[in-house]
Amino acid sequence: MKRFFTLLIACVALSMTASAQLKFVDATELGIHGHTQKTDKSPYYRFDHTPYEGFSKGIINHSKCPSGLYVVFKTNSSQISASWENAPKRMGDNMTGISQHGLDLYIKKDGKWRFAAVGRVSTLPENNKRTKSLIKNLAEGEKECLLYLPGWCQLTKLEIGVDEEATIEGIPSPFRHKVIVHGSSITHGASASRPAMNYPALMSRNLGIDFINFGFSGQCKMQPQFLEFLKTCEADAFVFDAFSNPSEKQIKERLNNFVEELVKAHPGKPLIFIQSPIDQDSDFDTKKYAARMSLTKTAAKMMKVLSKKHKDVYFLAVPNVLGTDSTIDNSHPTDLGFDRFLKAYQPKIARILKKYGIK
């Protein structure tokens, strides 16, 4: 028994020593990237909704989530840890805890961003203060790191831990230009396994272009408030997943004005609209299939007219883009679904952007 307690005390002492060897730096000192516009409300808010009256509670909640935001830094540390606090939020039934509450770390290797580690969420969401080791035993020398923030809950604090004697320094975003991607839960990132596996983040790493995630799960309906905000955004291009959330009636009432106003606000900038995937349960739900096909045809018909009228407006449509086996709930892609989505749309988007010198 005496030997057991001696070993226990030694283990505790070792753990305390290891902890003491870390220093933590506030992520805001390193720099937070990926905003549509910076706001003084919080460095982890995606935009400030307050000047625009009439936003729903869902939109306001999503605006406070750091979906698509990231930190870039360099360090010569042998290990990387993180300490972060989320506002309490229940787990979604169609996504992982890592995607909703966790962190996603990439490290550059041979000139490419390689997945390295995650900040796991192994406790109930009510226990919202977490300190986790992300990765240990890193090779000597300086590493460039890219840390994506949680996708679906409010972040109130984030610190990054490195060896006590190591250097850590924020560096500029590695991505060129600024392309705002506005859309539904698919753009937001449901149901990717990790925060960095949504298609805007994937395209950023693949193309070296900063695709800003402005997805709002269930809430992207071309509302006048979103239109007014997007008109004020400085960006080189815009991509819209605009037809997943609105009803057919809303598309008929809002689409023309939405496009016309954005063309006026951003002359000469490409506005790229994407056809939304058809829900996979439509193969069997005949009523849902008929409604979705009618909506899709209406959107395509209207976009055909608008893209002919405006030289900088584009409409991309890929039938059956997700296949039949790549969603978690018949609507939201798994990582396989996002890979299919990416392979279908990334080359088309890249070709359009290249025409405008965005490459």
- Residue 212's domain is classified under what CATH number? 3.40.50.1110
Torsion, Cα of 159, 163, 167, 169 (10° steps): -20
- Per the domain annotation, does 236 fall within a domain? yes
Based on the domain organization, do 208 and 288 belong to the same domain? yes
How many residues are recorded in the chain? 359
Domain boundary among 124, 155, 170: 170
Based on the domain organization, do 114 and 182 belong to the same domain? no
The closest of 123, 150, 147 to 135, measured between CA atoms, is: 147
Domain boundary among 152, 170, 188: 170
Q: Total domain count for the chain? A: 2
Based on the domain organization, do 150 and 287 belong to the same domain? no
Based on the domain organization, do 72 and 109 belong to the same domain? yes
Based on the domain organization, do 141 and 183 belong to the same domain? no
The closest of 41, 44, 47, 48 to 26, measured between CA atoms, is: 44
Domain boundary among 170, 192, 208: 170
Based on the domain organization, do 282 and 308 belong to the same domain? yes
Q: What's the pTM?
A: 0.93
pLDDT at residue number 127: 65
Considering only residues 275 and 20, tell me which one the structure prediction assigns the higher pLDDT.
Answer: 275
Based on the domain organization, do 129 and 74 belong to the same domain? yes
Residue owning tokens 């230009």: 177
Average pLDDT of 286-290? Answer: 90
Q: What is the pLDDT of residues 328-356, one digit of tens each?
A: 999 999 999 999 999 999 999 999 999 99
- Per the domain annotation, does 342 fall within a domain? yes
The closest of 146, 145, 144, 155 to 121, measured between CA atoms, is: 155
Q: What is the pLDDT of residues 9-64, one digit of tens each?
A: 444 444 444 445 999 999 999 999 999 998 889 999 999 999 999 999 999 999 99
- Per the domain annotation, does 189 fall within a domain? yes
- Per the domain annotation, does 46 fall within a domain? yes
Look up the domain containing 101 and give its range. 22-170
Distance CA 12, CA 15 (A): 5
